[in-house]
A and B are shown apart, each in its own frame.
Chain A
Amino acid sequence: MAANWFSAAGPVARRVRGYFAPVNRATQTPVLFDPSEQGGFALDTPPMPWVSLGWIQAFARTAGSKTWAVSGGIPAGTLQQVRQTLEAQVSFEFMSWTKLTMALATGSQHMNLLAAGAGAGAAANGAQAAAAVTVLSGSTTTFIALAAADAASFTAGSIVAVDSDYTGQTGFVGAPVTGAYVRLSLTDVDYIRRVTFNVALVSEVTSTGLILAEPLPGGAPQAGAKLQAVKGFVDREGGSFYQEWSALFVMEGSQGERIFFHYPRLQAMTSANETAIPLNAKHTGGLSRVLLKGQFLALPVTDPLDGEKVLCYRSFLPSANALV
């Protein structure tokens, strides 16, 4: 009888794929990934609410946890070890520039450059924005219902931000993805749309609204949401806000096996920085691809299984028929 198993060598993986899910900042509640239920997902279509960040490279994990040896006896010998501190870092480079990857890679607040109103004075974060248009009911994550006249003011290829008006609230703003922390009440009615992650590209304009090329990361617009055109994105060196997210990294091996690294809470720990890699050996001094470089600090969560404080879960799903 032919053997129906094989002895697997170490996984051979091409690159690492990254995924994002929002952390509820007010309650410090992360999104958990369950590899036993969700581990077989198609890499291009992650389970809700995970959002693909595309390919990443130079993925490196550093455990900074320190252990301390408890000694006893004469001469002293180690009796046991205790974990003194809990720390882990992750660093990598995003292969693509998007709203999400830019925001996550920077250690501060990330904002949308709203399209300026006529005659608005210049401002580093974007000028006073053109008036927002009201989003109608019936909108979904990929379709924004608008009045015909409002829809006609947009074109395919526009970028739009969809969220509520700012009404003077303080604390964390933006839901479900927190975009900023407001210490003192502000006067900019567009502030939430400046920091919202509910941003997408318009693929088609109809008389009833805008069809989006990609789903809004924050889900369907809430009642009372408004929409503004976005020209680009901006972040600052400085400020007091740290992005935090639930992270999932996947390495898929050549035999279908998968390694998952799940960090329930990850915060950027460095300011925005980039790295340039030559397109090929011929272009060492010329054309280069600019990558977003990020370094992140893992924050602990309490595992409900046994109450232990942990920073990261590493899971391995072996390939079919491989000896374990």
Chain B
Amino acid sequence: MQNAKDSFYMALRTRLAALNPQRTVLVRGAVRPGILVEEAESPFSQLPNDVFVLRWLGLAVDMGLSSMMSAEECEIAYQTCGTQSFGGLDRGRLLSAMDKELVAMLVPCYTPKVNYASNPQAAMLTSVFWDEPEMGPIVVQRDQLTRSAKVMVCSYEEQGE
């Protein structure tokens, strides 16, 4: 499933960079598109603002198929306090903008599977696909608005995986 998880993240990262090049994050001295995989970064004391954070949850496998299918739930969390220039009064608008970016990032609901662990990266034979996002409610904590969405990311295991 690791190749599928990597491919899903890279697809979203590439799409976000095209949708909103201004949404970036500084990680270990490098400016990157504003989307991170929680398990691939140093532990956060709290989620960074204005960035999408992918968190992998439950895993299921269907072994009764000609190719085993794995499905792992991905929670995509994001939060904002708005901007200082508006005193945070634009936090609702910024969260709506992130909602819109997330939905746009997830379409189309598939991407080619790529092995990013090999050097050079190697295109695989199948595609990773996912369902429609299940958007959670806004969680308000003082001036901070947080939302998370869940999608089920599916992939067929290929020979050698």
Q: Are A6 and B160 in contact (CB under 8 A)?
A: no
A255's contact among B109, B127, B159, by CB below 8 Å, is which? B127
State A5–B159 Cα separation when bound (angstroms). 9
A7 on the B face (CB < 8 A): yes
State A307–B78 Cα separation when bound (angstroms). 62
CB-nearest residue of chain B to A321:
B125
CB-nearest residue of chain A to B132:
A14
A6's contact among B110, B129, B156, by CB below 8 Å, is which? B156
CB-nearest residue of chain B to A7:
B66
Q: Are B127 and A8 in contact (CB under 8 A)?
A: no
State A79–B154 Cα separation when bound (angstroms). 48
Q: What's the nearest-Cβ distance from chain B to residue A316, in Å?
A: 15
Q: What's the nearest-Cβ distance from chain A to residue B13, in Å?
A: 21
CB contact under 8 A between A255 and B126, given known A2-B159, A9-B156: yes
B126's contact among A4, A6, A10, A14, by CB below 8 Å, is which? A6
A232 on the B face (CB < 8 A): no
Q: Are B127 and A9 in contact (CB under 8 A)?
A: no
Q: Are B159 and A3 in contact (CB under 8 A)?
A: yes
Q: Are A4 and B125 in contact (CB under 8 A)?
A: yes
Q: Are A9 and B160 in contact (CB under 8 A)?
A: no
B69 on the A face (CB < 8 A): yes
Q: What's the nearest-Cβ distance from chain B to residue A188, in Å?
A: 47
Q: Are A8 and B110 in contact (CB under 8 A)?
A: no
Q: What's the nearest-Cβ distance from chain A to residue B12, in Å?
A: 17
Q: Which 5 A-B pairs have the closest CB atoms?
A: A254-B129, A9-B65, A7-B66, A3-B159, A321-B125
| A interface, CB within 8 angstroms of B | 2-10, 12, 14, 254-256, 319-321
| Additional A-B contact list (6), CB under 8 Å, known A9-B65, A319-B126 | A6-B159, A254-B127, A254-B154, A255-B156, A319-B127, A321-B125
